[in-house]
Structure 1
Amino acid sequence: MNRREFIAAATAGVVAPVCAPASAHAAQPIQWVVPFQEGGGTDVWARFMAGWLSATLPDRPEVRLLNVSGGNSTRAANFFAAEARADGRMLLGTTGSTQFAALLGDRRVQYDYADWRIVAAQPSGGAIYVPSALGVGSMAQLVARGRTVHFGSIGAASLDIVPLLALEMLGLDVAVLLGLNSRNAARAGLIGGEFDVDYQTSPGYLAQVQPLADAGRVVPLMSLGALDAHGRWARDPAFPALPAFPEVFRQIHGRDPDGAEWQAWQALFRAGFAAQKMVFLPGSVPVARSQLFREAFSHMAANPRFRDQAAPVLGPYPLLTGARADAALAQAMTMAPDIRKWTRDWLERRFRVTP
């Protein structure tokens, strides 16, 4: 089942995020809090993971999704911080927006990642593309045109901050329309001629944009890149033919990126893409109980069948568990105070947005 088939089945209620209990004495259900509405990318990820988690945990408990949307994912995180108990029967799945709000001091945040225990982390990636009618085949050509391009955004302090800062660093003049309700709306706007440049996270690109590229309607220009197992910049494994942002920067400017903007971009990428989705239990859950969940995700990550099913839905990214998940969390939630200030100042100066 590919991602489009999975989404269609999930939203129609055909794919359930549960597995039947193995005995007549069913284990108590697990609740998984999802910070966005049904059918979106985060919901599809959680629904896919929940089915596997149910099948892998001892006694195969039912895993029920609870969608708590609002506040650019902060409402769900606040709900989890207030409601999750030490019995380990509530999980939270975060996304890059949840991390950004905490890193940048969003006033809506009433949660602290230090109060939670990570169970697993899921990297992702993204690709930037333009309509073929624009007549460009590379980011260098797009910059050389010297014209304003239009971009549709959910919000400047959302996950969109990563491509927006990248485009500015490359030298593009970008007019941004804020307030869209989804990346799907931005993609539709580009196809409809309202926007000139767009990005989609890897799952969305593979499912929705790749067919357009194959049909010659859009042209991919670059990926945001990826971090390899040693923390070095590399091409995104979902888009190996596309140059990554650091490559494109060198091509256009003849030097490596540096300075506060580069430090900010790296910190945001780590929080928004290198560990985009994370799964948490409250820190009050006993270690033995949380270890059951950590071991279940480790077994999932090692299962070839899981990997085969996950790749077309989520992209070719490894599920990070154990010490790798711990390290991903530490890197994602680290931002130097001066870089935090630079980022907040940039949002205020560029978009009149104060987190």
Structure 2
Amino acid sequence: MKTKHLSFFIFSSCIFFTACNTIEANDASEQTTTGSLYEDRVISFVVPFQAGGGTDVFARFMTPYFSEHISGSPRVQVENIPGGGSITGTNEYAQTRKPNGRNILTTSGSSHIPYILGQGSVQYDLSNMTPIIGSPSGGVVYTNPEKASQGVHELVETSGELFYAGMSPTGLDLITLLSFEVLNLDVKAVLGYEGKGPSRVAFEQGESNIDYQTTTAYNRNVVPLVEEGRAVPLYSLGQIDENGDLIRDPQFPDLPTIEELYIELHDEVPTGEAWEAYKQFVGAGFTLQKAVWVHDDAPEAHKQELHSSMISLIEDEQFQAQSEEILENYQPFIGDDLQDRINAMLDVNESTVNWVRQFLLENYDVDVNRL
């Protein structure tokens, strides 16, 4: 009986290990058996925002180029999972989607900032994801002609007369609020608007007198107000270069940065926690405004294929022509350049983060641990 049991065990074990080896062989030879890793496959492109928003438009613009330039021409299917300012969908991607190289995610500054702040509801870890492609955006702060006529020096000395309509202090609005802090502008912020469109309408209706809009929205909706004499740009939020310095936004080369305004006001460069925080979050919110990721533990061959496909994608002349509007004439990041931007975004000084958390608690009664 013992011999029979031992023989059965050996026989069963052989079947088990043969099956395992067959599965591993099938995974390893997937490219050989199907012609390509992605041939006859579907890539699920998770967008943690509702349809029609800026990140959704970005993703749907990218999908046909992904399909065209990824070997095997997979079908790329956008899947919207809105909620929590992008946190709901990003959490779901990180926690439940298989790391098979066929699930990808797009994020925006609204996803990056809560992660950096350690917001309580964040259950994803961007350091455990591999970036595929990223893209900058920008923003412009503007006011009405009456306030602009006073000049920057007078605005700084103004008390209780500046009103800002925003969405959330832990989203992209944080960068604008930090710019007010660096410049020592006394601005009363009314937050909770459903989007930047409603906040712009609040400006047009006189409910606020200082506002910011991202590049596309500014060019499309605010430039006409400027031309009509109903709005005046004050400064761009700027971009962070490869050295970590704030520079003028290439899409708004005539507009100063807050560093330039600060020097004009104080005849010295800005320093301190507010300034360091501002630069950190400009990098996370605007210089890397959009990013597409795959799981870090996805098969290496799939990650390599996705990376190499981005090289031909950004060289596609049709992509370059059509991306002028969607990518706002900013150049996308791929490869080492993208990874450097990611590293800079994630390399956060703990004291800076703690300062921002305290800043939000004291000024906006926001405890990020409870969000």
Asked if these proteins are the same fold (TM beyond 0.5), I'd say: yes
Contact 2:139 2:213 in 1 (8 A): yes
1:311 to 312, 324, 339: 324
Aligned residue pairs total 331
Work out the CA distance in 2 between the residues paired with 1:285 and 1:216.
53
CA distance in 1, matches of 2:126, 2:80: 20
Shift of 1:133: 4.9
Q: Could you tell me how far apart the structure 1 residues matched to 2:141 and 2:303 are? A: 38
User: 2: distance between equivalents of 1:56 and 1:240?
Assistant: 33
Q: For residues 319 and 157 of structure 1, what CA distance do their matches in structure 2 show?
A: 25
Is the CA contact 2:113–2:284 (under 8 Å) kept in the aligned structure 1? yes
Shift of 1:228: 3.4
The change in CA–CA distance for 1:238 and 1:142 in structure 2 (over 3 A counts) is same
2:204 pairs, out of 191, 209, 214, with 191
Q: CA deviation at 1:206?
A: 1.9
Q: Is the 8 A contact 2:238 2:282 kept in 1?
A: no
Q: Is 93-102 or 204-213 further displaced after alignment? A: 204-213
Kindly tell me: are residues 148 and 350 of structure 1, through their superposed partners in 2, closer, same or farther at Cα, counting changes over 3 Å? Answer: same
2:171 to 143, 148, 158: 158
8 Å contact kept, 2:45–2:78: yes
* Equivalent in 24, 31, 44 of residue 57 of structure 2: 44
User: Where does 1:1-355 land on structure 2 (aligned, <5 Å)?
Assistant: 27-136=40-149, 139-355=152-368
Tell which deviates more after alignment, 176-185 or 126-135: 126-135
Query: Counterpart amino acid of 2:145?
Result: S
**Larger of the two Rg values belongs to structure:** 2
Provide the rounded CA distance (Å) in 2 between the counterparts of 1:217 and 1:201.
18
How high is the TM-score relative to the length of structure 1? 0.88
Deviations 1:284-323 (Å, cap 9, x if unpaired)? Answer: 2111101111122222223343223212222221110000
Give unmatched runs, 5+ long, in structure 2: 1-37
Contact 1:137 1:219 in 2 (8 A): no
Which structure shows the bigger proportion of residues in helix conformation?
Answer: 2
2:360–2:367 CA contact under 8 A, matched in 1: yes
Indicate conservation of the 8 Å contact 1:202/1:314, yes or no. no
Return the TM-score normalized by structure 2.
0.84
Mark the CA change 1:295 to 1:280 in structure 2 (over 3 Å): closer, same or farther. same
Cα distance, 1:141 vs structure 2: 4.7
Contact 1:140/1:248, CA 8 A, preserved across alignment: no
Equivalent residues of 1:124, 1:315 under 8 A apart? yes
Conserved? CA contact 2:48–2:90, under 8 Å? yes
2-structure distance, mates of 1:134, 1:255: 25
In the alignment, what sits opposite 2:25? none
Question: Shift of the alpha carbon at 1:345?
Answer: 0.6
Q: 1:145 to 1:331 in 2, by over 3 A?
A: same
Partner-residue secondary structure (3-state), 1:312: helix
| Equivalent-residue separation in structure 1 for 2:197 and 2:236 (angstroms) | 18
